[in-house]
Amino acid sequence: MDTNPVFRRRQNHNNTPESVILIITNVIVFIVATEVFANCTKISNVYWFVLGALGVYNFFNIRKYREDYGKAQYIAYVVSIIVLIAMFFLLRSRAQNC
């Protein structure tokens, strides 16, 4: 029987901040949607729907966990959105088989 509480401290790994989970979710959904729905010459309407749904998810997630977001988390979120916009242009400009 172990009486040391160190190993019982992180049950279910709930110590990841919500802001980090939100940024990781944004990056994964954005990259997958860009690769699948944004072709060489045309951007599908489904792509804009996915990004709109992601925006709604971001709004409600930030609103739900408002007390967890400080100045540093907001700055990291804004920087991640700027990086996603830059990634959009980078992924659309690279050579593709059209």
Q: Which helix (H) or strand (E) holds 52?
A: helix 45-64
Farthest CA pair distance, the chain: 64
Contact 51, 27 (CB under 8 A): no
* Cα gap 79→82, rounded to integer Å: 5
Contact 47, 31 (CB under 8 A): no
Better pLDDT: 25 or 38: 25
| Whether the predicted pLDDT of 38 surpasses 70 | yes
pLDDT at 3: 62
| Spans of all domains in the chain | 17-93
The mean per-residue pLDDT over the stretch 69-75 comes to 90
Contact 76, 23 (CB under 8 A): yes
